Amino acid sequence: MAIVYDKLMRWSFPDIEQRLTKRDAILYALGLGLGADPLDEKQLRFVYEDGLLSLPTMAVVLGYPGQWAKDPATGLDWVKILHGEQGIRLHKPLPAEGAVIGKSRITGIVDKGKERGALIHTEREVFDQATGDKLATLTSTTFARGDGGFGGPSGPSKDPHPLPTRKPDLACDLPTLPQAALIYRLSGDYNPLHADPKVARAAGFKAPILHGLCSLGVAGHAILKSCCDYDPARFKSLDLRFSAPVYPGETIRTEMWREGSVISFRSKVVERDVVVLNNGRAEVA
């Protein structure tokens, strides 16, 4: 099948009600590698239930609509789909437990051409079920590598956030575990691309790759550590582009430029000297 523009723009997502427990918050943090030093009391606050805090980037797994692109009715070649961009806006600190509701919608589809794929823009708002308060707004761009040339609009395109040309003000190296993808998928993204070697090879990778949102979480951890002293209330927003895959077990170095409350950043895999997250922009208090 091919994308039918009007049909996909009207794609109906059910509201996702999710009961969040302390175990969920701890499992998410462990998937990012927090707790690597069990004596680090600041990291312990995110992986131990006594006084537990939620990581700001955990918003990406709340109210998640699942593998909707695998539905044949979308017309998408789901095996060739990659995460292109992600944005997070936090309206309130995330709870460590409670119930949330996620409301998702498609906001745009861009046809880049037959050999260049398509971009699917989505938005998800996450609400506290008990109070109705909006907790987070998430924006995402999916790169559908095998789905261009369906006759849809060729724009508009968002300009990437420019990074300063000077030397970074800060850098933070954080290792990922060889089993990081197998842990992270337990937070809700069960795409076999991140677990099954056969699926990964079919998609053109030498091995299962780390979830892009796990790499994002590692960069968020670096910003939280380096610019917020591990205070999640100071973490306000994050936007970035995914530029290359990370393989579980690699070390992610996040380079940061501080300009007041705005943190520009990018992340590299140290072992291969490859930029994997680019054009990053975060806001901190």
Residues with Cβ within 8 Å of 156's Cβ and at least 6 positions away in sequence, in order, are: 110
Q: Which residue among the candidates 111, 147, 189, 239 is catalytic per the annotation?
A: 189
Q: Which residues of 213-223 are buried (b: 16+ CB within 10 A; e: fewer)?
A: bbbbbbbbbbb
Catalytic (active site) residue 194:
yes
Cβ-count burial of 60 within 10 angstroms (0-12 exposed, 13-18 middle, 19+ buried)? buried
Active-site pick, 63, 75, 212, 280: 212
- Nearby residues of 229 by Cβ (< 8 Å), 6 or more positions away: 42
Question: Is-catalytic flag, 221?
Answer: no
Encoding tokens for residue 86?
Answer: 């992600």
189 is catalytic: yes
Active-site residue (options: 194, 211, 239, 263): 194
Indicate the pairing of strand 81-90 with strand 134-144: antiparallel
Residue 212 bears catalytic tag: yes
Let me know: does 113 contact 119? Beta carbons within 8 Å: no
Catalytic residue among 88, 209, 223, 252: 209
Q: Which residues are catalytic?
A: 189, 194, 209, 212
